[in-house]
Structure 1
């Protein structure tokens, strides 16, 4: 079962990254803004990796004989 708190955490990280990105771009630090965006993508991927591994385990057990 998908935990709804994970969706809220991903949304919170996304909103925080967008705010930091806008602040950095308005102050002229575009390079740091790109690094923050990449860090946000990595953080979200780390959150989702556990769900992906559970999916593969479920598919694997479903097709085992």
Structure 2
């Protein structure tokens, strides 16, 4: 039997320089997540192991998802 879909806390719309868009649902608040410097670039790693290069992001929009018990 498959695993039930886990509810996430945040839904982010990332708009990249060049116009590409990516929607991510995550428990990590990208706006305040720990930054890591790698070869002079600043990255954020979120719990599902996505790594985001902040230099490529033009804007971030966030929606806080409601949690139900």
Normalised to the residue count of structure 1, the TM-score between the two structures is 0.21
Which gives a bigger RCO, structure 1 or 2 (Cα 8 Å, sep 6+)? 2
Task: Work out which of the two has the higher radius of gyration on C-alpha atoms and give 1 or 2.
Answer: 1
Normalized per residue, the structure richer in strand is 2
Normalized per residue, the structure richer in helix is 1
